[in-house]
């Protein structure tokens, strides 16, 4: 009888679409690899420690961690309402003067935050960004 029930469930579309999955597939990991002879703060990880008690008007800490070289972390106080432009301002004031432009930025924020961060960083550093779409020779015919 057990085999008959198993065969019936395997062949029934309704049973297959509504049965519970007890073994969820694990998402693939994208490990952060370190490079040989890495320079400090060229691969950085940004995160926020939020919902802290107010201290001098700040209630959040922006952490910037050197992923590749020393594993050092910088703690920068800010407000919870900080946006990408504010993060860039903090970065250029506190980190850029010592370590320069990062080669890789890892953040658990959404892609809009990352795009605004990159755009604002380029604007402050007077780097001209000219982003094109893939397979459009109208923008970048030479490389296409």
* Predicted confidence pLDDT, tens digits, the chain (144 residues): 888 888 887 777 777 777 777 677 777 777 777 777 888 888 888 999 999 999 999 999 999 999 888 889 999 999 999 999 999 999 999 999 899 988 888 888 888 888 888 889 888 888 887 776 666 666 655 554
Would you state the pLDDT for residue 133? 67
C-alpha torsion sign, points 42, 36, 74, 79 = positive
Contacts of residue 140, defined as CB under 8 A and 6 or more positions apart, other chains included, come to: 132
Delineate the domains of the chain, giving CATH numbers in brackets.
43-124 (3.30.420.10)
pTM, two decimal places: 0.68
Contact 69, 39 (CB under 8 A): yes
Alpha-helical segments (H) within the chain? 2-11, 13-18, 84-91, 97-99, 111-124, 137-140
Q: What 3-state class would DSSP assign to 16?
A: helix
Q: What 3-state class would DSSP assign to 74?
A: strand
């Amino acid at each position: 009888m057990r085999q008959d029930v198993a065969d019936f469930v395997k062949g029934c579309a309704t049973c297959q679409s509504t049965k519970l999955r007890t073994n969820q597939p694990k998402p693939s990991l994208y490990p952060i690899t370190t490079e040989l002879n890495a320079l400090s703060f060229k691969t950085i990880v940004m995160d926020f420690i939020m919902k802290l008690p107010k201290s001098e008007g700040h209630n959040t800490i922006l952490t910037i961690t050197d992923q590749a070289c020393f594993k050092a972390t910088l703690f920068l106080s800010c407000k919870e309402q900080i946006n990408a432009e504010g993060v860039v301002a903090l970065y250029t004031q506190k980190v850029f003067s010592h370590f320069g432009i990062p080669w890789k930025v890892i953040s658990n924020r959404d892609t809009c935050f990352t795009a605004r961060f990159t755009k604002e960083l380029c604007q402050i550093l007077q780097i001209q960004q000219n982003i094109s779409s893939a397979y459009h020779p109208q923008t970048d015919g030479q490389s296409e």
